[in-house]
Structure 1
C-alpha cells in the first residue's frame, strides 16, 4: 500500500470521526448527552489531529490541537458545557470539516483565525479561573523542587514511599481482575504535539489507576526541556478494559512512546532504573509504538494474553475495500445472474435431468448476489448528518431559526444512490428554508412557533426508498406560481390546471417566484436540477403542499441500481419485466368480476374492492396483445401514490432476478420505463415503471398521450 492509499484511508476515517463528533455535539445541544459523549467527541478530534501530524497537514493539526485542548477542559469540568459553548464548538466542527476538505483537495486552508481565537479564549478563561483558585490558597513557601515532588506525589495518588519499602499488594480477589500497562514517552515526544497528560487522563477515564511513576530521568529544574519526556507511568487497569481500548489512545503517537502490558505479577511497580538495564521480566512485551497508519489494526504491540473478561470483549474485525473493487464485484455478479438465466433457459428447453443442480445453482447465485449487494448498503444517516451544518449556514444568512427532526436515518440503500443524493437534498433544503419557512414575525402573526421545523424521514416502501423533506412553512401559493408560469410562457393564458400540475411547474427550467436573487436561491436553476438528478437515479419526485401549513417533497428511489427480482410477462411478441416488489398477486378473472366504467374502462372486483384495469397493450402499442381480461392475466400491483391497480398482460412466463441496465446510457430516458435487462434467451426486455405507468393510464383516460412504452 503506497502513501496515497494510506492518505485516502486517513480521509475516510476523518469523515467517520467528523460524523461521530457532530452526533455527539448534536446530543449536547439537545441535552441528551451522557458522560461518554464528550469523550467520544474528544477521541474523534484527537484521531484527526494525530493523522494530520503524521501526514504533515500543519494547519489541520494546529486547529485540532486547539479544539482538542478545549474539549479536554470541558471533559475535566473546567469549562461549563452550556448552549453558547456547544454552538461555538459546532462552528469549530464546521471549520474542522473545511480543513479536512482543504487537505484532501490540496487547496488553501480555511480562515480559522476568528474561531481559533474563541476556542483559545474559552481555554484561557478556564485556566485563569483555575489560577485564581490556586492563588486564593495560603502560600506554602515550598521551593520549586518541593513543588515538583508534590506534583509527582499527586500523580502517584499517594505519599512518597521509601525505595526499599515493600509494595502493598492488592487483595487476591482483585488481582485476577486487573492488569497493568506501562508507558514511557521518548525524548522529543512533545515535538509533534503529543501531550502525555492527555494519555494519562484517557487511562483514568477507562478506570485505570496510576500506581507508580518512574522519575529516574528527571533532571534539575534548570536543565528542563519542554520538548523532552522524562517520566514513565504504570497504571492498573480494570479487567473489563481490553488492550484494544488502551491501544486506541495511542493510535497516532508514532514512535514517541513505549508501552508494556502485563498482569500485576509480571510488571512490578517501577523503581529508579539502575545504571545497567535489568533483564526483562517474563511475559512482558515492551515495544515502541509503530507509526500509526489509518486503517491499520488498533493493536499497538503484541501483548501477553489479556485477562478473561478482556478477551471476551474483543471487537469485530473489519477491513477496508476500495469502492472500485466492489463495483467490479457487483458487475461480475450481474453477469453471473445473466449467465445463470441463460443456462436455465437452455436446460429447460432440453430436458429436466438437471433440475436439482439448476435449483442449487440458482440458490447459490442468489446468495452471492445478496451478500454482494449488502456490501454496498449504507444507512442514509450519512447524508442526513450533513444537514445540521447546512441549516446553521442558512440560519446565519437568512436570520431564520429552524429546528431539524429526523426519522428513519438507519434505513439502508445502495452507496451509489446515497452519494448522488447530496446535491438534490441540498437544493430542496435551501428551497424550504428560503421560500417555504416564513420569518419569525410572519409565523407569529399566523399563530405559529417563531422557530420553523424541517422534517427529514426515510423508509422502505414497495421496494423503494421513500425520502420525505417537509417544512411547516407557508406552502406553495398556486395562484402566484400559475401567474409566473403564464408570464414566462410556460402555460397559456386561461389554462385550467390541477393543483399537482401547478406544483410541478416549479420544476421547469429557469422557473422561480423569488422577488430578488440571493446567494441561496432566485435564479431558477435549482429545482429542475433536483428533478433531473432524481430521474437519473431511476426515481421520481412529487410535491404535497397545503397553503399555510407547509410543503413536502417526496422522493421515491430504487434501493439499488444493480440487481432486483421481477416477474416476466408477455405482451404480444414483447416481453416486459414488472418489479416483484410492486406485485401483490396475479389472477384470471371471471366475467362477473368485471364492471364497466364509461365507454372503454373496466374495474375489477377483488374481494369487494374495485381496482382499475390497465391494459398494457393500449400503452405499449402492441396490436397483437389481448384486450379481454378473461383471456389474459391480471397482475395486481401496489403503487406509492395511486393505490392498487390491475395490469392486463397476455401471460406470465417467468419470475427471476434481473440486472438493471439504464436506458440513459445506451439510448435515452423513456417515460414509464425504469430501465432494461437481458433475458435468458439473450433478448432485451424493458422494466416497467409501475407508478408512472398507472399515472399514464389515468392521463390516457382523460385524453392524454398514448404509446409511451412503444417509444423505446
Structure 2
C-alpha cells in the first residue's frame, strides 16, 4: 500500500486539475454562458477539494471551502442571484482557494487577515444567513471532517453515539439505507467514504461494511468492486435530505432508503456530491485494515478501473528526471546519426545503395524518436494563462481599476521548461499592462471607452517558434514622458534624437520606471528589464508596439523547445558557427557601392531605402579571416531586439540545420557573443551565436536602422 505522502501528493495533483476546471467554468460564466450546470460543476469542484482536504486535516482550507460552497449552493438553488458583484466575489474566492491549496502543498503559513477578508466577502453574500454559516464553518475548522476508518468491519464516526436506543429516542425518524457502488462511481472520482461521512452530518449514523462479496486476494481477475454498506441513520432532516447526499451518483450505485415506520421500502437511485478518487479512499479507509483485506480492495480497485468500458484515457505520471535523461540520450542519438552520415560521405560510400538506404532509415527513425520525446515535454500554455487571470484581478484591485483577461490559443503546446521560465516575465508584463496601460474607469468613460479595460493574452505557433502576445486597450505609451524620464535618469543623452520605436524600447532599460510613487506594483525600477533578460535567456525576443489612445502590444517570440535549434551554419575564419534561424532574415551579396564606410571602422549597408550597420564577425570575435579582404562580401541580415536590423559579415554560408543545444555555462563558462554550442556530424564543435549580444558589444551606444536623407 502506498504511503500517506504519496496520497497527499495525489490529492494536490487532483486539486490542481479541479482548480483548472473551476477556472474554465468561471471563464465560461464570465463569457455569458448561463447554463446552470456550470454552477453545479463549480460547486462540485469546490466540494471535492474540501472533502479531500479534510482527510489530511487541512483545517483552514476545509473551512474556507465550506463557506465558499455554501454560497455556491445558494446560487445553484436559485436562492441567490449571480449578479456582477457576486460573480466578482466568486472569482476572488476561487483565487484565494488556489492560494490556500498552494500554501498547504508547500506547508507555508497564509495571511489570516486575507483569509478573513475573503470569508467576510462570502458572508456578505449570504446576508442574514452569514452568522449561522460562520458558526458552522468555525465548528468545522475546530473539528475538521474525518474520514471513516475501516475497522473490521464497522465505520466508527468520532463524536457520534452508536447506541441505537438513544438514536430512536432522540430522533423522530430512522432510516435503513443499503448502498452498493457501481464501477462507474469510482470512475467518476466519487468516494463512498465521504458520501457516508456527509450522511453522518444529518444525524446519528451507524455504518457497517459488507465484505461478503469480496473475493480472496488470490482471485485471478477481479472486475467489479465488491464492497457495500448497510447504514442506519436517525435524523430529523427527512428523506429529501438523504437523497440530496446521493444526488450526484444517480445511476452509479444501488441505493435503497427504507423508513423504519414505512410498510413498504422505497428504492431510489440518486446522484451524490463528487469527492475524492479511489486512491484517496485508501488513505482514509485502509490504514487500520488487515493486510489481506488491503490486498483485496487494492486489487478490486485496480481491476475495476482497468475494466471500465468508458474509462478516460489512461495516463502515467513519470519523474521529470527520467524524461530529462531520455531527452539527453535522444540528443546524443541525433548527434551519432549525424556523425555516421558524415562518415559515409567522407568514405564516399554513397554509391552503395544498401548503405544509403540504411543511413536514411536511421536518420528518419532518429527524427521520429526525437519528435516523440519532444512531444512528451510539450505542454499547453493553458495552466500558465489561467494563472494570469488571477494576476489581472489582483492588479486591478490594487490599482482601483476594472480589468478583464481574454485568453486566445491556450491550447498551444510549448516545452515544459519554457513554460516554467516564462511565468515570471509574463506576470511582470500583465501587471504592467494593468498598472501603466489601462486607465481608471472614470478616464475610460470620459474617453468613450468601456469602463472595464481588456487585456488580450494569446499564443500561437509561427515559423518554428511560439509567439505570445499581450495587448491592452489602454492609453498607450506617453512617449514624451518616457523620454523625459530616461533623460532625467541618465539613461540617454539629453540631445538624443530617437525614433518612436527607440523611445518605446527605453522602457526595457534597467532602472527605468515612469511611476511617480512606489506601490505594490511599480515604482522600484524593476520590471520590464527583467522581462527582456528572461526572454533573451530563453533564446527569444520581445517587441513592443504602442498607439496613443489605442493601447500597447508586447510580442514575445520563443523557441518551441530549449533542447533543439534550427540554425544557419556559417563559417568565420576556419571556425563553424550557427546563427538561430529565427533571427535570420536573408543572405546578401551586396553590389558595388551598396556598402559605404562611416568613420574609421564602421560600415553601412544600403538596402531597400534604408541603411543598416555592418558588423564584421571575425573582428568582433577576434578571429583571423579565412578569405581575402578583397573578396566579395557575404552578409547575413539579422533582426535584433535592441538595434533592429543589422548585417553580419561572414566568410561562408553552408546550409540550414537542426542541432542539439549544449550549454556552455556548466561545461566551460560564459563566452561573449555566444549563447551555446553543438556538435556537428563530423564531430566538430560549433558555437551558437547570440546576434543581440554580438550587436551590443559592437555598438554599445549604437543606433537602430535609419532612413537615408
Alpha-carbon distance, 1:676 to partner? 2.1
345, 349, 354: which one aligns with 2:346: 349
CA 1:2 to 1:232, structure 2 compared with 1: closer, same or farther past 3 Å?
Answer: farther
Aligned mates of 1:472, 1:680 — CA distance in 2: 50
Distance in 2 between the 1:594 and 1:201 partners? 83
- Contact 2:470 2:555 (8 Å CA) reproduced: yes
Deviation at 1:150, TM superposition (A): 14
Tell me what 2:524 maps to: 523
Residue correspondence of structure 1 range 607-626 to structure 2 within 5 A:
624-625=625-626
Q: CA deviation at 1:44?
A: 2.3
Other-structure match for 2:221:
none
- RMSD in angstroms over aligned alpha carbons? 4.9
Q: Relative to structure 1, is the Cα distance of residues 490 and 127 closer, same or farther in structure 2, using a 3 angstrom cutoff?
A: closer
Give the 3 Å change call, closer, same or farther, for CA 584–502 of structure 1 in structure 2.
closer
Q: Distance in 2 between matches of 1:422 and 1:24?
A: 23
Cα distance in structure 1, aligned partners of 2:416 and 2:573: 38
Shift of 1:454: 1.6
Are the aligned partners of 1:569 and 1:653 in contact in 2 as well (CA < 8 Å)? yes
CA separation in 2, counterparts of 1:196 and 1:595?
91
Aligned-partner SS, 1:385: helix
* CA shift for structure 1 position 389: 1.5
The CA distance in 2 between the partners of 1:436 and 1:404, in whole Å, is 13
Residues 17 and 44 of structure 1 are in contact (CA less than 8 Å); yes or no, is this contact kept in structure 2?
Answer: yes
Aligned position for 2:318 = 321
Q: Residue 423 of structure 1 corresponds to which residue in structure 2?
A: 424
Counterpart in the other structure of 1:173 = none
Match of 2:229 in 1: 184
Cα separation, partners in 2 of 1:375 and 1:81, compared to 1, 3 Å: same
**After superposition, what is the alpha-carbon deviation per residue over 1:277-316, rounded to whole angstroms, capped at 9, x for unaligned?**
xxxxxxxxxx999999xxxx9x85745998xxx72x3321
CA distance in 2, matches of 1:181, 1:34: 37
The yes-or-no answer on 1:47 pairing with 2:42 is no
Which residue does 1:284 correspond to in 2? none
Output the CA distance in 1 between the equivalents of 2:387 and 2:580.
32
| 1:553-601 deviations in Å (ceiling 9; x for gaps) | 22222211112343433333121224456678889x7x9x888365676
- Is 1:367 matched with 2:412? no
Once the two structures are TM-superposed, the CA of residue 92 in structure 1 deviates from its matched residue by 1.6
Question: CA–CA distance in 1 between the matches of 2:616 and 2:230?
Answer: 78
Flag the 1:91–1:219 CA change in 2: closer, same or farther, 3 A.
farther
C-alpha distance 648-253 of structure 1, shift in aligned 2 (>3 A): same
Q: Secondary structure at the match of 2:496?
A: coil
TM-score (norm 1): 0.70
**Is residue 175–residue 258 contact of structure 2 (8 Å, CA) maintained in 1?**
no
Q: Which residue does the alignment assign to 1:202?
A: 248
Match of 1:686 in 2: 687
Match of 1:213 in 2: 256
Shift of the alpha carbon at 1:449?
Answer: 2.9
Give the structure 2 partner of residue 549 of structure 1.
Answer: 550
1:219-230 equivalence runs, <5 A: none
Q: Where does residue 407 of structure 2 map in the other structure? A: 406
**Number of aligned positions between the proteins:** 597
User: Please, which of 330, 334, 339 is the counterpart of residue 331 of structure 2?
Assistant: 334
User: How many Å apart are 1:696 and its aligned residue?
Assistant: 9.8
Alignment of 1:68-79 (within 5 A): 68-79=69-80
Residues in 2 aligned to 1:456 and 1:290: alpha-carbon distance in whole angstroms: 50
Contact 1:185 1:196 in 2 (8 A): no
Distance 1:188 1:77 in 2: 29
Distance 2:523 2:234 in 1: 55
1:235 has 2:236 as partner: no
1:86 corresponding residue in structure 2: 87
Aligned partners of 1:586 and 1:636 also within 8 Å: yes
Structure 1 558/22 Cα, relative in aligned 2: closer, same or farther at 3 Å? same
Residue in structure 1 matched with residue 594 of structure 2 by the alignment: 596
How far is 1:14 from its partner? 2.0
**CA contact under 8 A between 1:484 and 1:513: conserved in structure 2?**
yes
Q: What corresponds to 1:438 in structure 2?
A: 439
Any conservation in 2 of the 1:180–1:236 contact (CA below 8 Å)?
no
1:330–1:615: structure 2 CA closer, same or farther, 3 Å change rule? same
The equivalences for 1:242-321 within 5 A come to 252-253=280-281, 300=301, 302=303, 311=309, 313-321=310-318
Q: Tell me which residue corresponds to 2:39.
A: 38
Q: Quick check: 1:500 aligned with 2:501?
A: yes
- Partner of residue 667, structure 1: 669
Counterparts of 1:640-679 in structure 2 under 5 Å? 650-653=651-654, 655-663=656-664, 665=666, 666-668=668-670, 670-671=672-673, 673-679=674-680
Aligned 8 A contact 1:455 1:469 in 2:
yes
1:138-166 deviation digits (Å, cap 9, x = unpaired): xxxxx9988768999xxxxxxxxxxxxxx
In structure 2, distance between residues paired with 1:630 and 1:234: 92
* 1:576 pairs with 2:622: no
Q: Which residue of 1 aligns with 2:119?
A: 116
- Could you say what secondary structure the match of 2:492 adopts? coil
> Residues 157-176 of structure 1 correspond to what in structure 2 (within 5 A)?
none
Q: 1:301 to 1:383 in 2, by over 3 A?
A: closer
1:415 offset after TM fit, Å? 1.0
Using the TM superposition, give the Cα deviation of residue 633 of structure 1 relative to its aligned residue in structure 2, in angstroms. Answer: 7.4
Q: Does the residue aligned with 1:318 lie in a helix, a strand or coil?
A: coil
Whole-angstrom distance in 1 between the partners of 2:431 and 2:702: 37
1:374, CA displacement in angstroms? 0.8
Separation in 2, partners of 1:616, 1:414: 31
517-526 or 6-15, which deviates more:
6-15
Contact map agreement 2:176 2:232 (CA 8 A) in 1: no
- Paired with 1:326 and 1:376, the residues of 2 have a C-alpha distance of 8
Cα gap change, 1:694/1:485 in structure 2, threshold over 3 Å: closer, same or farther? closer
1:693 deviates by: 7.3
CA distance in 2, matches of 1:302, 1:233: 28
| SS of match in other structure, 1:116 | helix
Shift of 1:524: 0.6
Q: Following TM superposition, by how much is the alpha carbon of 1:643 offset from its aligned partner in structure 2, in angstroms?
A: 10
Moved more, 76-85 or 399-408: 76-85
Q: Check conservation: 2:586, 2:638, Cα contact below 8 A.
A: yes
Inter-partner Cα distance in structure 2 for 1:701 and 1:520:
32
Residue 28 (1) aligns with residue 29 (2): yes
Is the CA contact 1:582–1:690 (under 8 Å) kept in the aligned structure 2?
yes
- Native 8 Å contact 1:202 1:249 kept in 2: no
Describe the SS at the equivalent of 2:594.
strand
Shift of the 127–397 alpha-carbon distance from structure 1 to 2, 3 Å rule, reads: closer
CA distance, structure 2, for counterparts of residue 128 and residue 149 of structure 1: 31
Asked if 1 retains the 8 angstrom alpha-carbon contact of 2:55 and 2:284, the reply is no
Question: For residues 211 and 664 of structure 1, do their structure 2 counterparts lie closer, same or farther at Cα, with a shift above 3 Å needed?
Answer: closer
Classify the secondary structure of the residue corresponding to 1:564: strand
Structure 2 match to 1:386: 387
Q: Work out the CA distance in 1 between the residues paired with 2:253 and 2:41.
A: 22
Q: Distance in 1 between matches of 2:317 and 2:421?
A: 21
Q: Is the 8 A contact 1:210 1:234 kept in 2?
A: no
Bigger mean CA deviation after superposition, 47-56 or 372-381? 47-56
Compared CA separation, residues 383 and 233, structure 1 to 2 (3 A) = farther
CA 113–675 in structure 1, closer or farther in 2 if over 3 Å, else same: same
